């Protein structure tokens, strides 16, 4: 994490910026590939990796990951269309989310995806009636459980507490007759997601063991064959100084142990691990240009052309003390001094990094926020102050591809309607 990336596959970042402007997100396909293989190589062959589009819904990022071998976990109609356009086979798509509407369910039926992950008993009823209308039956469904046990080691814990996600394990256990009444649905497995930003492999292995045991137990109690288990994922990446990346070899050893015991008992069961952040974060860099550098009451500020409007995650949400993403100076070296790096928004919260140690920053210099390929634009208030969303570039095979155009004024105004308050006489 200590050397600045000033070159991506032979493309100088300064040249990319010349061509595409700032603020800019750049994704390095070599890093996407390396990250995928590092995980793939330690997982047992029977475990499929599904990409959670939520982390970075760009169609080309999704297509790149799919070309490597990932399926797709989608949670909205647009994400479903994105995955299909990216070339993901419907048999490798699952759809989840607590608030699916009829259009989304109908699109899943139409596409014939691997499974809809149902999150409430009422959703099952709605899906069952839509299937009846469509003249379809035996439609595959995974039951998302809100486990009775809590998760360990996540920045955002799931399980063991009231949640809008999934069906409480206890309630599901009592639902045998309600499930039996469904005519057109085939329950074929269980889904559980225990939280995000797991960095300790032992926690992931522990949670997976519990999920698999619960899945087997529920299949027995409710009497359905276990054909798919999605045991979540939520692997993190180290962002802050006090964090370390997941020890993948140890994770692989632990998961292989748990998964092989499980699949020995359930040889035909598909096992899915779903991941967003882990697959895309490290491959992405957010590049901003310093506009103004100034002092305020003894502190140095860099006011850059992009900030939390594109990269809310860099605010370090959820942490009491502001911690900084790795930020590098691309235009200067030399003695370090602390700078607070802000964006252009008119709110004091638009701070990308607080007291970041950087070589001298001058107006026009480029700064790179590293590990920014996940939860960037997609999770940020890009419309705030009408700056719009930045351009995104994917570098693949040495070639820079513009994979999202920067919003223009016309893009931003196109959906607004001007009421005429000056009627002609
Ligand atoms: C957000 C989410 C993911 C992706 O989480 P990451 O931490 O980015 O891997 C996967 N599954 C579900 C159910 C989610 O809500």
Question: pLDDT tens digits, residue range 152-205?
Answer: 676 666 677 888 999 999 999 999 999 999 999 999 999 999 999 999 999 999
The whole-angstrom separation of Cα 228 and Cα 271 is 6
User: Which is more confident, 152 or 320?
Assistant: 152
CA of 204 to the centre of ligand 1 (A): 14
- Candidates 345, 341, 335, 369; CA nearest to 356 is 341
The whole-angstrom separation of Cα 205 and Cα 183 is 36
CA of 281 to the centre of ligand 1 (A): 13
Please identify, by atom number, the ligand 1 atom nearest to the C-alpha of residue 55. 8
The whole-angstrom separation of Cα 371 and Cα 132 is 46
Tell me the sheet residues that pair with 196. Answer: 156
pLDDT band for 317, please (50, 70, 90 cuts): low
Q: Whose CA is nearest to atom 13 of ligand 1?
A: 193
Does pLDDT of 316 surpass 90? no
CB atoms within 10 A of CB 66: 18
Q: 61: part of which helix (H) or strand (E)?
A: helix 59-68
The whole-angstrom separation of Cα 229 and Cα 142 is 8
- Average pLDDT score over residue span 73-81: 98
The answer to whether 346 is a known catalytic residue is yes
pLDDT band for 150, please (50, 70, 90 cuts): confident
pLDDT of residue 215: 97
The whole-angstrom separation of Cα 82 and Cα 58 is 8
Q: Is 50:70 a contact under the CB 8 Å cutoff?
A: yes
Tell me the sheet residues that pair with 141. Answer: 116, 187
Does pLDDT of 3 surpass 50? no
Please identify, by atom number, the ligand 1 atom nearest to the C-alpha of residue 144. 13
Structural domains of the chain ordered from first start: 3-25+284-413 (2.40.37.10), 96-275 (3.20.20.10)
CA of 196 to the centre of ligand 1 (A): 6
CB atoms within 10 A of CB 251: 22
pLDDT of residue 5: 58
Pocket test for ligand 1, best of 35, 49, 54 (most atoms within 8 A of CB): 54
Q: Locate tokens 């607080």: which residue? A: 354
Whole-angstrom CA distances from 219 to 28, 143, 158, 399 are: 42, 10, 22, 49
Does pLDDT of 320 surpass 90? no
Please identify, by atom number, the ligand 1 atom nearest to the C-alpha of residue 96. 13
Tell me the sheet residues that pair with 341. Answer: 302, 353
Q: Is 127:185 a contact under the CB 8 Å cutoff?
A: yes
- Average pLDDT score over residue span 330-340: 97
Q: Whose CA is nearest to atom 1 of ligand 1?
A: 54
Please identify, by atom number, the ligand 1 atom nearest to the C-alpha of residue 375. 8
Ligand 1, CB cutoff 6 Å, lining residues: 52, 54-55, 73, 96, 193, 196, 233-234, 274-278
Helix-strand-coil split of the chain, %, nearest 5: 30, 25, 40
pLDDT band for 80, please (50, 70, 90 cuts): very high
Cα maximum dimension of the chain: 83
What stretches of 135-243 show up as alpha helix (H) in DSSP? 169-173, 176-180, 201-222
Pocket test for ligand 1, best of 35, 208, 276, 373 (most atoms within 8 A of CB): 276
CA of 75 to the centre of ligand 1 (A): 10
Please identify, by atom number, the ligand 1 atom nearest to the C-alpha of residue 232. 11
CA of 193 to the centre of ligand 1 (A): 7
CA of 244 to the centre of ligand 1 (A): 20
Q: Pick the catalytic residue: 62, 118, 269, 346?
A: 346
Structure tokens given for 58: 């760009």
């Amino acid at each position: 994490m200590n050397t600045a990336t000033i070159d991506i596959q032979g493309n100088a970042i300064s040249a990319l910026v010349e061509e595409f402007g700032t603020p800019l997100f750049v994704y390095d396909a070599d890093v996407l590939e390396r990250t995928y293989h590092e995980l793939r190589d330690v997982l047992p062959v029977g475990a499929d990796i599904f990409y959670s589009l939520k982390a970075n819904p760009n169609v080309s990022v999704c297509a790149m990951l799919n070309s490597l071998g990932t399926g797709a976990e989608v949670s909205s109609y647009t994400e479903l269309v994105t995955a299909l356009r990216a070339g993901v086979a419907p048999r490798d798509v699952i759809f989840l989310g607590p608030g699916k509407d009829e259009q989304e369910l109908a699109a899943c039926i139409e596409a014939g995806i691997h499974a809809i992950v149902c999150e409430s008993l009422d959703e099952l009823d709605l899906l069952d009636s839509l299937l009846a209308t469509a003249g379809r039956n035996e439609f595959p469904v995974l039951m998302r459980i809100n486990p009775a046990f809590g998760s360990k080691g996540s920045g955002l814990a799931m399980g063991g507490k009231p949640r809008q996600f999934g069906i409480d394990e206890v309630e599901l256990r009592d639902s045998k007759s309600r499930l039996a009444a469904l005519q057109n649905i085939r329950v074929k497995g269980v889904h559980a997601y225990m939280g995000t930003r797991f960095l300790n492999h032992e926690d992931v292995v522990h949670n997976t063991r519990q999920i698999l045991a619960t899945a087997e137990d529920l299949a027995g109690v409710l009497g359905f064959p276990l054909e798919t288990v999605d045991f979540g994922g939520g692997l993190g990446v180290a962002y802050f100084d006090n964090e370390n990346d997941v020890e993948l070899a140890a994770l692989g050893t632990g998961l292989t142990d748990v998964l092989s015991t499980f699949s020995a008992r359930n040889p035909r069961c598909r096992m899915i691990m779903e991941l967003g952040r882990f697959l895309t974060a490290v491959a992405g860099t957010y590049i901003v240009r310093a506009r103004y550098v100034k002092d305020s009451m003894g502190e140095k500020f860099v006011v850059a052309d992009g900030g939390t409007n594109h990269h809310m995650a860099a605010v370090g949400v959820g942490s009491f003390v502001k911690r900084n993403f790795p930020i590098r100076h691309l235009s200067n070296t030399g003695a370090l001094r602390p700078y607070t790096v802000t964006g252009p928004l008119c709110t004091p919260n638009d701070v990308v990094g607080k007291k970041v140690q950087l070589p001298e920053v001058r107006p026009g210099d480029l700064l790179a926020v590293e590990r920014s390929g996940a939860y960037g634009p997609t999770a940020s208030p890009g419309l705030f102050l009408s700056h719009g969303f930045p351009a995104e570039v994917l570098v693949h095979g040495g070639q820079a591809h513009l994979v999202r155009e920067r919003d223009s004024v016309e893009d931003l105004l196109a959906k607004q309607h001007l009421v005429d308050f000056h009627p002609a006489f």
